[in-house]
Structures are given as C-alpha cells and as structure tokens.
Structure 1
C-alpha cells in the first residue's frame, strides 16, 4: 500500500466512524458494504463517483478526504482565510493541475458583495478529472460558497470549480450569477419562451422566475461543474 493511499484510508476511516460506521455510510452513500470496507482498509481506491457519493453523505469535501483538511483554506465569516504560507502555486506532478482560487465569494442565498476579484492561491486538482469534465485548464477557477440555499448539492463553506466560458445561461445547470457587485450561485432552469427560473436546491427557499427580457439581461460569470463531485 502506498503512503498516499494509507493516509487516505485513515482519513476515510475517521470520517466513516464519525458518521455511524461502515453500515450507515454504505446505506447512505449507496456504496456496497464490502467495497467500502476495502476503501477504509486501503485495499482499493474509489472511483470519482463513489468518492463523491461518500463525501456528500458524510458532509465533507472530496478535497478533505483525498488531500486532508489542513491542506485547504477555510471559509470563515464569509471570507476566505488563506494563510500566506499555504501550499505552492506550482506542481511538479504531471497528473495535477494548479487552478486559481479567486477572492470571490459566491453567495448561496442573498447576494454577497464582492470587491474586484483577484487570485488568492492555486489549488491542486486531478488532471484526469478536469479532462473528464471537458474543461480546459485556462478556463477553470475555484470560488468559495457562502450560504445554505444550494444544500445538499453544495454545502455552506465548500469550494467549487467553475467553467468561466459560459456568459449566458443557455442550458439547465448551476451558474455563477452577477448582479452589480453581488455574486450568487443558483440552479438555472430554462422555461417557456426563454424565461429563466432561479432555483435553490434547499427546499426552504423559493424559486425566482425571470421574464425573457430580464433573463436576457442576466449576467453569468460561469457554470459550476464540480463541488465535491461532478454536477
């Protein structure tokens, strides 16, 4: 067993035990019990889909399971706390892409005012996952999320991966929306005659319907393609 796989197995064991044990996590994530057991023993490595299912049920990010929570900046009181000595902006690993983490906080709730965004740091992301998403490296950005209106799809405090190419919501999906200085993340559904419905995945929040003129004026900064798993 490699050191990296052993460390992953230890983190996974800790998370699984904290969520009620193997049986509870297996049932909640729909990962077979025997398969989950191999993961925590370090006998095999989960696929991206099963890793995302486990992380979602356990309420942790894939990054925390794979790399460890201490390797990533935290969201505190709506701001990204990124220590100056955190990590490195480059990687010698050809299987890893270093993606910019922007100073923008996208609100999953009421609009959150952002100053002109700048790059805080670069975070590692598996190159093969980026390729599977069909997202060229130069169009990939990480953003922080504040608020619970997109739970359980996107949890409060998560960091999400955004494809910055889309500037209009032409298809259903989760988008980063800009309203003046405010940045929000919402699920967008295209309705009758190109009207747009802004949906919060958390059922406690009501949807918002935009008329075709308002929908056409909607500013899009990108599409969320990954948040602890593919979206």
Structure 2
C-alpha cells in the first residue's frame, strides 16, 4: 500500500471520529452545554468538532458520559454507541436525579416555562427530562442535587442578569424571599422570575432587572396568594 493510500485512510478515520464526536456534542444538548460541562468555550468545542484542535481525553469522557455514549465507540466506531439506557429519550420521568458519576450529576428539567415578562401558565410542573451539570459547580453553589431543578425561561425583563430564553437552575428549598436574590414565583398559576420587595400595608412588589419594565405591585390580598417555588442560582452563570 502506498503512502498516499495510508494518508487517505487516516484522513477518513479522522473524519469519522469527528462525526462521532459531533454526535456526542449534539446528544449532550448543545455546544453551549458541552462548553459548560467541560469548562471550555463554545469556540473551543467548535475547534474540536472541526478538527482544528486535538480532543482531550478527559473532556471527551465527560461529554460521552453526558450523552450516554461509549468511549470505545467514539474512538473506534465499533460496537454499540450507547451506555445502557438512553436517558435523552425519557419524557415524563420522575423528578429524582439519575445515576451520576464523579464529574457529572443529572438534574431534572421541569416541564415549566418561567416568564421573565408577562405571566405564563404552568399547571403541571413534572420532570420532562434530565440535564447533566458539573458536580463541582453544584458544590460551589452549595446546592444538594435533590433540591436542584432546571426550567426554561421566556422574556427579557430580567436582562442583563438572566439572558432571554436562558435555562435556569433553581434551589427549591427557598420558600421565603430575600432582597438580594431572584426567585421563581407562582401567582394565579402564572410562573414568573422576579426579585421581590415589600411595600406598605402588606403589599408586595415584583421587581425586574431590565429598567424598561416597571415594578409590579400586588395588593395585600394578591400577595397572600403569591408562592415561592425556588431561588434562581444559575442561568448560564452563577446568579
């Protein structure tokens, strides 16, 4: 076999490896989520996918685990790509964390959209999936996994603190407001993301971080029906 043939075979193997790696990144959620899991930038993830930088073993192992894919399959393309049960296909699963490892924990993603803007009704907040999250980040947030929940958000009333359409992580232990924190609040089945303030005569204020939005004032009877579902502690970064 000529040297040219050897080079062509090696190039084909490299391209196949990159295709498998791209599949793992996609299965982990997104390039942004892959960056979160590995502690690298999305630009670095793109370099690995495009073959412009060598894929480190540790990062490959973290992403393979998060995507429920086999490292042997990633390296060789042989055998089953999956590691047992495919968690990514689960819908309506119970809200308990899945089996994790020393680097990654799996946190329930609730079937809830918390509005950073007008209220959105959410009547059935069950877990529709689980998302991987670095264990060390959870420890830095002082958040036990059993009290951690992911949920989607919509609207821009909390920018720049929380970007529009961000996935948020909440600590569901919180039931009482603090002035220096952001909460998921439920009012008449509307789920909102707001800061909470106290007004006169039992009133409660719902405060937005985006100055374009006015502070909302709930009367004392309305305030009594307000419930706190958790404190937002992370939304692409620590809150």
Please tell me the TM-score bracket, short chain as reference.
0.5 to 0.7
Bigger proportion of residues as strand: 1
Q: 1:213 offset after TM fit, Å?
A: 5.9
> Residue 103 of structure 1 corresponds to which residue in structure 2?
111
**Are residues 1:172 and 2:180 paired?**
yes
Structure 2 gap ranges (5+): 1-20, 22-33, 47-52, 55-61, 68-87, 92-96
**From 134, 142, 145, the counterpart of 1:126:** 134
Question: Residues of 1 paired with 2:100 and 2:171: CA distance?
Answer: 24
Question: Residues of 2 paired with 1:8 and 1:230: CA distance?
Answer: 14
Q: 1:85 offset after TM fit, Å?
A: 7.0
Q: 1:215 offset after TM fit, Å?
A: 3.9
**From 8, 11, 19, the counterpart of 2:42:** 11
**Are residues 1:150 and 2:181 paired?**
no
Alignment root-mean-square deviation, CA? 3.9
- Provide the secondary structure at the position in 1 that maps to 2:182: strand
Q: 1:210 offset after TM fit, Å?
A: 3.7
> Residue 36 of structure 1 corresponds to which residue in structure 2?
none
Q: How many residues matched?
A: 171
> Residue 206 of structure 1 corresponds to which residue in structure 2?
214
Q: 1:147 offset after TM fit, Å?
A: 0.9
Structure 1 gap ranges (5+): 16-40, 43-65, 72-82
Question: Residues of 2 paired with 1:94 and 1:194: CA distance?
Answer: 47
Question: Residues of 1 paired with 2:43 and 2:221: CA distance?
Answer: 48
- Provide the secondary structure at the position in 2 that maps to 1:198: strand
Deviations 1:124-143 (A, max 9, x none): 11111111111111110001
Instruction: Name which one, 1 or 2, has greater alpha-carbon Rg.
Output: 2
Q: Identify if the C-alpha distance between structure 1 residues 92 and 178 changes in structure 2 by more than 3 Å, giving closer, same or farther.
A: closer
Which TM-score applies when normalising by structure 2? 0.58
Q: Is the 8 A contact 2:109 2:129 kept in 1?
A: yes
Q: Identify if the C-alpha distance between structure 1 residues 187 and 127 changes in structure 2 by more than 3 Å, giving closer, same or farther.
A: same
Q: 1:106 offset after TM fit, Å?
A: 0.3
- Provide the secondary structure at the position in 2 that maps to 1:128: helix
**Are residues 1:84 and 2:89 paired?**
yes
Q: Is the 8 A contact 2:179 2:195 kept in 1?
A: no
Q: Identify if the C-alpha distance between structure 1 residues 91 and 203 changes in structure 2 by more than 3 Å, giving closer, same or farther.
A: same
- Provide the secondary structure at the position in 2 that maps to 1:121: strand
Q: 1:91 offset after TM fit, Å?
A: 5.1
Q: Identify if the C-alpha distance between structure 1 residues 85 and 175 changes in structure 2 by more than 3 Å, giving closer, same or farther.
A: closer
